[in-house]
Amino acid sequence: MSEPLLALRIESESTGTGEAFGRLEGDEPVARDTVTPRPARENSRHAQAHESAIKHVTGRARYIDDLPAPHGALHAMVGLSDVAHGRITRLDLGAVMEMPGVIDVITAQHIPGHRDIGPVFPGDPMLADEEVSYVGQPLFAIAATSYLEARRAVKAAVVEIAPLPPRFDPVAAADAGEFVRPTHVQMSGDWQQALEHAPHVLEAEQFVGGQEHFYLEGQACLVVPGEDEGVTVYTSNQHPSETQKLVAEVLDIPFHAVTVENRRMGGGFGGKETQAAPWACMAALLARRTGRAIRLRLPRAEDTRATGKRHPFHNRYRLGFDDEGVILGGDMTLIGDCGHSPDLSEAVVDRAMFHADNAYSLGAARVTGHRARTHMASNTAFRGFGGPQGMMIVEQAMDDIARHVGEDPLTVRKRNLYRIGRDTTHYGQHVDQYPLMVEIIERLERSSDYWQRRDEIRAFNRQSAVIKRGLALTPVKFGISFTAKHLNQAGALLHVYTDGSVMINHGGTEMGQGLHTKVCQVVARELGIDFESVRISATRTDKVPNTSPTAASSGADLNGMAARDAATQIRQRLLDFAAEHYQFDREGLHLENGKLVSDIGAVTPAVSWGELIQAAYLGRVSLSATGFYSTPLIHYDRDSGQGRPFYYFAYGASVSEVRVDTLSGEYRVERVDILHDVGDSLNPAIDLGQVEGGFIQGMGWLTSEELKWNDDGRLLTDGPATYKIPTFGDLPPIFNVELLEGHPNSQASLYRSKAVGEPPFMLGISVWSALRDALSSLTGYRVSPPLDTPATPERVLMAAEALRAGPANVGASR
Amino acid sequence: MIEFFLNGQRQRVATEPETSVLELLRGPLARHGTKEGCASGDCGACTVAIASPEDGQQSLTYRTANACITPAHQLQGAHLITVEGLARGDALHPAQSSMVACHGSQCGFCTPGIVMSLFVMHEQQRSAPGMPLDDHRLEAALGGNLCRCTGYRPIRDAALSMSEHADTRPPWADDPTLERAVRELSPTVASEGQSGYLTPTTLAELTAAMQRHPEARLVAGATDLWLEATQRLEPFEMLIDLRQVRELRQIEETADGWWIGAAVSYREWEPLLVEHYPAFAHLLTRLGSAQIRNRGTVGGNIANASPIGDTPPVLLTLDARLRLAGPQGMRELPLASFFLDYKKTALEPGECVAAIYLPKPQANFEQRVWKLSKRREDDISTLLGAFRWRRKDGVLSDVRVAYGGMAAIPLRVEAVEAALEGRKPDQATFRTARQALHDSLTPMSDARGSRDYRLTAAVNLLERWRLTLVDTGSNDPAQEVILDAYAH
């Protein structure tokens, strides 16, 4: 396989940095900026900097609210419900219309087409019609001549809602059978018999908190009405095709009348997969009604209240195991708090169930997933998509079992890993590459000095009354593929222009994860040209249609393959043409370092890429191609709960050490070691960034990021003043992060790479487990303390107080 | 109409009293590089650098600010630097090139703000190259810039490697006339009456203006007031800016203490605390972020009368006094008599806090300040305990105990003081003190913490205090009772 020019470029630019930042021209989205990577951080010639890095640091990268708006553009704002559940008895917007600058007002009655914009299943009215289902639900939208006028005008609305009893407790909802989707069950073997015959049985429950996405760029769009019946929608959005569909359905026009474009997002994390669409739909309706462009950007508090979050979960396990702590079987119940509507909850709870085993064989097990309906914003996709919440229950079980049998939790974890004879999941998928998990753990065990530190920490804790240290190693096994099979497809469109520059479009969106960089690298590699010759413009539904969301870590796997398909077609055409045109031997002809090269007959003069393209154009060769890819082999049967939903698994493990003040509940993560599997990395710099960033985000989910509502269902933590994502000082002082090398994907993925967006998120679980370890030391490691999440200083202190008051006060496992 | 310099270019623009620097940039000035993440001064995406001649520095000194909660009027006479003003054509500033080289941006939305914080750090390194870039400095400089993508490791790398990059100077740095041109601008807002924004320069002018405009709001750092503009959207009829009032910007030393002008920023106040009250100074490192500490004032922290303000409990234990300026002139008041009820103070109409008296520490003075919050940096107290005492022959005296976050106001807990005064810090004495605290306070539950947690933690802080008194300074880990990163 040829890996041509990237290496040369990096060598030639390895001195100095100033001159490497050339070519800053124009306002066009460009993918050609390139710099010398820092050698210390890089271990491969594929460590290309992010295609927008220079634009990011100079402020030239444009986000939605930075786009130049057409003349006369209006600002839209949305009026939200203050009541969690009730019937609208009065929605009087007369005073709103009278406010300065207001041009138009819409309610549900003004929608010409579909009023329900539920992405997969119905249940999400664009604007509440008669009933309101959560605090923050959109009731009406307005357009005004300025942002401030629009915000002020919204407050003039007269809204009267006759309250109905709200439900906020998902457990009570599940008990009452209040679900947004039917319960699903997966079963392997006779779990009841396994429990009956097990030497030991433990059961426990846990609450796993939700998480606000806190993308730095909030929900935003700009909609420009066209000369026909349609609109062009610029939106910070992970799923342009779905937004195209919903906007068309709301306006009651054909899909081809709606074009959706996204150049980049200021963060997505799942929060813009389905929940970016409503704002585009409202703005589109206002744009068509006023004939003017509409800008809509939600203020942070409105954004946080109106949109769904990571699902909180209530999980339970009842597991039987032998004297060694090896699970024989049992029962797990996962209750996802879905909020008021289905949104993506069917698949989110499915994925939680698919990951209730994490890296361990559950033996004969039953896993039940409930989708509870509550009067909350509809919870949605968030990095990991239910997987993290599912893993939490089995990781709690590992710690609990270890305390019960008197072993170190790592020992029990290792004994339970998938292995020969125990290599099939509870949903019937054979676990590919399971020895990798063992290897990762054993290497990390050594590189982190786990056992030596374990001894030191135990000795320290024996002497230290107040400060307690904790240590934990937790693995991650994460299934890669959309569990909705049809989404596992992607398209690409590649143009070669006559100057030899290349434009690639694909269905994926850029939210910071480096997808466009990777796709440009793929095309450059296939065509043997340098990275700078390949550009990605924005993602647009009129270039690549019917796309899947950029989600499920699949962006590079799917779109990279589609781009590769397009590039391969072009390459074949060019080589066929060249063989005939230049009378070269077709066999052995290839593209390398920006040249057409023949392996046979060294006397053949090389033809430059530019010359070749010119000749091909004159020779009337098509220089444009569409590419397509669909993931093979995957299937899942919901009736039996069995199948192979994942093309492959990605693996990783992390070791975290914490220091806890048991008088105040304050703690610090002092050291973290990570080893993570990305197959053969497409771009080690970007992949490392995903692993580090994912870990910290996962740590934030389980530690400081606390969502709190008042008794009326109003979110109290609706901004960064009260909702605390990790900041600079939360970076562990010692943070050793490595990508596992030398283990290509066993499946035929893109250059044998593996997806990296979501799996590292769950590495953060080791922080939570280390906190439990530190707390457990208060009881001489005899009791495994319950520790709901997020494990804020408050929860840690209250857990410590309960342990000090005596095990009887700990609602622990029996 | 305000006049200032933006990236070396003179600007003259009309603006409303409630307009922020960010709105000015992204609106009339069409500079879209600076981003809005929260409009509440908590995320740092909008970080810009501002040099104001009146800050008394020898040369223009650039400080970070959150543009979203900085009044546009406060640009009058200043030099504002934004992310667009750093690169020299294609040549990036080290704050930028190091971020690119270290893969410090992913989605890129927080990046302009981070670049501006790095720029200011780089400027500080230029003026004091010997100062080590240790973790403490990095955290102080970058703790107010949230990044949701990277996990901060590459940003840390970038901060540490700026010196390895070509020291490209911004184009405006070449202009030898710039500094003088900035200093020649008036520090006060022209045609004050119509603008709705007054900039008095003396205390007399200030009190007269307050009498003329009883409806006016006072503004200094704007770090709290501006939330009313960005969140409640209420227009200000009239603002009176305290930052040019000479008397309010001074620190006046007396024989046994200091009068700190109410408009002295946390940053300006910090050196004095570092020298005389290190435990108090450490608290400042956990108060807001660099962007907030550069602009927020001690007078604001007091007059705001928030029950969770960081400095009032500490000042209560130090027997601080206030100077209140009003139409009848000046009066003094113990700080303990200032807070009346939730957000209610002893200020009469037309009065403002002019200065805070901080006594010098006496012999055998000891002090502890412990702030508990959900996140260590850039977070507001869930509760804060402040303790001050003297110890002679093993006996405690002059004991002061105050808490924030435990009542509607910052509160001295005299029952606890009484339980400890004149006693040895033994277990029995502290058991009594803990009971007294438990019986004295009835905190509330809110987004930051539950009532139970607040009470439990507040009582535990007394136990922590006792343990530190037992500690004889040995390095025995058994004596470790505080996590160093949180407090000393």
B29 touches chain A (CB under 8 A): no
Report the C-alpha gap between B252 and B323 in whole angstroms. Answer: 13
Report the C-alpha gap between A624 and A567 in whole angstroms. Answer: 9
What is the predicted pLDDT for the residue at A119? Answer: 95
Is residue A393, in this structure, part of any structural domain at all?
yes
The answer to whether the Cβ–Cβ distance between B103 and A35 falls below 8 Å is: no
Is residue A684, in this structure, part of any structural domain at all?
no
H or E stretch at A595: strand A595-598
Same domain, A313 and A215: yes
Domain residues for A277?
167-427
A101 touches chain B (CB under 8 A): no
Report the C-alpha gap between A365 and A343 in whole angstroms. Answer: 28
Report the C-alpha gap between B17 and A76 in whole angstroms. Answer: 24
Beta-strand (E) ranges in B274-328? 321-326
CA atoms lying within 13 Å on the CB side of residue A649 = 26
Interacting residues of A343 by C-beta distance below 8 A, sequence separation 6+:
A118, A119, A120, A123, A124, A274, A275, A308, A378, A379, A380
A411 CB neighbour count, 10 Å cutoff? 13
H or E stretch at B161: helix B153-161
Buried b (16+ CB within 10 A) or exposed e, A737-749: bebbeebebebeb
Look at A51-60, B5-14, B474-483 and tell me which has the smallest mean pLDDT. Answer: B474-483
The answer to whether the Cβ–Cβ distance between A58 and B84 falls below 8 Å is: yes
Q: Which residue of B has its CA nearest to A692?
A: B151
Query: A364 φ, ψ to 5°?
Result: -85, 105
Listed residues A586, A611, A630: the one ending a domain: A630
Q: Give the gap in angstroms from C-alpha B152 to the nearest C-alpha of chain A.
A: 6
Same domain, A584 and A500: yes
B448 touches chain A (CB under 8 A): yes
Look at B132-136, B157-161, B166-170, B341-345 and tell me which has the smallest mean pLDDT. Answer: B132-136
pLDDT > 90? residue B369: yes
Is residue A619, in this structure, part of any structural domain at all?
yes
Question: How do A595-598 and A607-608 pair as beta strands?
Answer: antiparallel
Listed residues A613, A630, A647: the one ending a domain: A630
Of B103, B148, B157, the CB nearest to A725: B148
H or E stretch at A148: helix A147-154
Report the C-alpha gap between A778 and B476 in whole angstroms. Answer: 19
CA atoms lying within 13 Å on the CB side of residue A691 = 28
Look at A602-611, A713-722, A732-741, B371-380 and tell me which has the smallest mean pLDDT. Answer: A602-611
Is residue A380, in this structure, part of any structural domain at all?
yes
Interacting residues of A55 by C-beta distance below 8 A, sequence separation 6+:
A30, A33, A61, B108
A645 CB neighbour count, 10 Å cutoff? 23
Do residues A578 and A584 make contact, with C-beta atoms less than 8 angstroms apart?
yes
Question: How do A642-644 and A648-661 pair as beta strands?
Answer: unpaired
B181 touches chain A (CB under 8 A): no
DSSP bridge pairs for A626: A493
Do residues A357 and A476 make contact, with C-beta atoms less than 8 angstroms apart?
no
What is the predicted pLDDT for the residue at B37? Answer: 98
The answer to whether the Cβ–Cβ distance between B103 and A63 falls below 8 Å is: no
Q: Is the dihedral of CA A307, A308, A309, A312 positive or negative?
A: positive
Beta-strand (E) ranges in A313-385? 313-321, 327-337, 364-372
* Count helices and strands in chain B by DSSP H and E runs: 17, 19
The answer to whether the Cβ–Cβ distance between B376 and A717 falls below 8 Å is: no
DSSP bridge pairs for A673: A655, A736
Report how far apart, in Å, the C-alpha atoms of A684 and of each of A436, A550, A695, A740 are: 19, 20, 16, 11
A456 touches chain B (CB under 8 A): no
pLDDT > 80? residue A7: no
Do residues A509 and A448 make contact, with C-beta atoms less than 8 angstroms apart?
no
Confidence of residue A584 (pLDDT cuts 50, 70, 90): confident
Confidence of residue A810 (pLDDT cuts 50, 70, 90): low
Is residue A721, in this structure, part of any structural domain at all?
no
Q: What is the pLDDT of residues B79-108, one digit of tens each?
A: 999 999 999 999 999 999 999 999 999 999
What is the predicted pLDDT for the residue at B173? Answer: 94
Q: What is the pLDDT of residues A649-697, one digit of tens each?
A: 999 999 999 999 999 999 999 999 999 999 999 999 999 999 999 999 9
Q: What is the pLDDT of residues B150-198, one digit of tens each?
A: 999 999 999 999 999 999 999 999 999 999 999 999 988 886 667 799 9
Question: What is the average pLDDT across A719-723?
Answer: 97
The answer to whether the Cβ–Cβ distance between B151 and A57 falls below 8 Å is: no
Question: What is the average pLDDT across B338-359?
Answer: 96
Question: What is the average pLDDT across B211-228?
Answer: 95
Q: Is the dihedral of CA A418, A422, A425, A426 positive or negative?
A: negative
Confidence of residue A717 (pLDDT cuts 50, 70, 90): very high
Same domain, A263 and A386: yes
Residue with structure tokens 């090389």? A606
Task: Label residue A503 left, alpha or beta by phi (over 0 means left) and psi (-120 to 50 means alpha).
Answer: beta
The answer to whether the Cβ–Cβ distance between B37 and A217 falls below 8 Å is: yes
Beta-strand (E) ranges in B118-224? 197-198, 217-219
Same domain, A503 and A602: yes
Look at A356-365, A481-490, B315-324 and tell me which has the smallest mean pLDDT. Answer: A481-490
Question: What does pLDDT average to over chain B?
Answer: 94
Buried b (16+ CB within 10 A) or exposed e, B413-448: bbbbbebbbebebeeebbebbbebbeebbebeebbb
Report the C-alpha gap between A381 and A338 in whole angstroms. Answer: 11
Question: How do B197-198 and B239-241 pair as beta strands?
Answer: parallel
A69 touches chain B (CB under 8 A): no
Report the C-alpha gap between B134 and B131 in whole angstroms. Answer: 9
Q: Give the gap in angstroms from C-alpha A66 to the nearest C-alpha of chain B.
A: 6
pLDDT > 90? residue A15: no
Same domain, A310 and A230: yes
H or E stretch at A140: strand A138-144
The answer to whether the Cβ–Cβ distance between A155 and B36 falls below 8 Å is: no
The answer to whether the Cβ–Cβ distance between B97 and A23 falls below 8 Å is: no
In chain B, which residues have their Cβ closer than 8 Å to the Cβ of A61?
A: 108, 111
| Domains of chain B, first to last | 2-184 (3.10.20.30), 250-488 (3.30.465.10)
Report how far apart, in Å, the C-alpha atoms of A350 and of each of A178, A354, B339, B486 are: 18, 6, 55, 41
Q: What is the pLDDT of residues A179-200, one digit of tens each?
A: 999 999 999 999 999 999 999 9
Q: 3-state SS string over A158-206? A: EEEEEECCCCCCHHHHHHCCCEEEEEEEEEECCHHHHHHHCCEEEEEEE
What is the predicted pLDDT for the residue at B243? Answer: 95
What is the predicted pLDDT for the residue at A5? Answer: 33
Confidence of residue A4 (pLDDT cuts 50, 70, 90): very low
Burial of B12 (C-beta count, 10 Å sphere; 0-12/13-18/19+): exposed
A26 touches chain B (CB under 8 A): no
Do residues A411 and A374 make contact, with C-beta atoms less than 8 angstroms apart?
no
Interacting residues of A301 by C-beta distance below 8 A, sequence separation 6+:
A718, A719, B231
Q: Give the gap in angstroms from C-alpha A420 to the nearest C-alpha of chain B.
A: 37
The answer to whether the Cβ–Cβ distance between B374 and A724 falls below 8 Å is: yes
Q: What percent of chain A has pLDDT over 90?
A: 90
Same domain, A511 and A609: yes
Closest by CA position to A312, among listed A399, A239, A392: A392
> How is residue B74 written in tokens?
């406060």
Report the C-alpha gap between B265 and B251 in whole angstroms. Answer: 11
H or E stretch at A258: strand A258-262
CATH number for the domain that contains residue A328: 3.30.365.10
Listed residues A596, A612, A630: the one ending a domain: A630
Confidence of residue A475 (pLDDT cuts 50, 70, 90): very high
Interacting residues of B130 by C-beta distance below 8 A, sequence separation 6+:
none
Look at A452-456, A582-586, A759-763 and tell me which has the smallest mean pLDDT. Answer: A582-586
Q: What is the pLDDT of residues A150-169, one digit of tens each?
A: 999 999 999 999 999 999 99
A398 touches chain B (CB under 8 A): no
Same domain, A386 and A503: no
Same domain, A415 and A320: yes
Same domain, A322 and A219: yes
One-letter amino acid at A388 equals P
Peptide bond into A790 cis (omega under 30): yes
ipTM higher than 0.90? yes
3-state secondary structure at position B252: strand
Of A37, A53, A464, the CB nearest to B478: A464
3-state secondary structure at position A233: strand
Confidence of residue A809 (pLDDT cuts 50, 70, 90): low
Same domain, A508 and A591: yes
Is residue A555, in this structure, part of any structural domain at all?
yes
The answer to whether the Cβ–Cβ distance between A661 and B481 falls below 8 Å is: yes
Of A152, A155, A664, the CB nearest to B460: A664
pLDDT > 60? residue A519: yes
> How is residue A729 written in tokens?
């000082």
- Of the residues A17, A41, A57, the best mutation for testing chain B's interface (the one with the most B CB atoms within 10 Å of its CB) is A57
Question: How do A86-92 and B257-261 pair as beta strands?
Answer: unpaired
Question: What does pLDDT average to over chain A?
Answer: 92
Is residue A183, in this structure, part of any structural domain at all?
yes
Burial of A722 (C-beta count, 10 Å sphere; 0-12/13-18/19+): buried
Q: What is the pLDDT of residues B425-480, one digit of tens each?
A: 999 999 999 999 999 999 999 999 999 999 999 999 999 999 999 855 555 554 78
Do residues A511 and A216 make contact, with C-beta atoms less than 8 angstroms apart?
no
Do residues B243 and B75 make contact, with C-beta atoms less than 8 angstroms apart?
no
Report how far apart, in Å, the C-alpha atoms of A405 and of each of A199, A362, A593, B178, B335 are: 11, 18, 61, 74, 58
- Of the residues B83, B308, B374, B445, the best mutation for testing chain A's interface (the one with the most A CB atoms within 10 Å of its CB) is B374
Tally of domains within chain A: 3
One-letter amino acid at B132 equals P
In chain A, which residues have their Cβ closer than 8 Å to the Cβ of B84?
A: 58-59
pLDDT > 70? residue A601: no
The answer to whether the Cβ–Cβ distance between A53 and B105 falls below 8 Å is: yes
In chain A, which residues have their Cβ closer than 8 Å to the Cβ of B482?
A: 661
Same domain, A568 and A491: yes
In chain B, which residues have their Cβ closer than 8 Å to the Cβ of A728?
A: 138-139, 142-143, 145, 152, 155-156, 377
Same domain, A389 and A273: yes
A54 touches chain B (CB under 8 A): yes
The answer to whether the Cβ–Cβ distance between A18 and B115 falls below 8 Å is: no
- Among all residues of A, which ones are annotated catalytic? 758
What is the predicted pLDDT for the residue at B195? Answer: 76
Is residue A297, in this structure, part of any structural domain at all?
yes
Burial of B256 (C-beta count, 10 Å sphere; 0-12/13-18/19+): exposed
Q: Give the gap in angstroms from C-alpha A679 to the nearest C-alpha of chain B.
A: 21
DSSP bridge pairs for A413: none
Interacting residues of B301 by C-beta distance below 8 A, sequence separation 6+:
B309, B310, B311, B312
Q: Give the gap in angstroms from C-alpha A353 to the nearest C-alpha of chain B.
A: 27
Report how far apart, in Å, the C-alpha atoms of A565 and of each of A367, A549, A559, A616, B280 are: 39, 20, 10, 20, 63
Which has more confidence, B78 or A809?
A: B78
Give me the DSSP letters along B313-360: HHHHHTT-EEEEEETTEEEEEEGGGTEEETTEESPPTT-EEEEEEEEP
Q: What is the pLDDT of residues A421-433, one digit of tens each?
A: 999 999 999 998 9
pLDDT > 50? residue A20: no
* Count helices and strands in chain A by DSSP H and E runs: 20, 29
Query: A811 φ, ψ to 5°?
Result: -75, 50
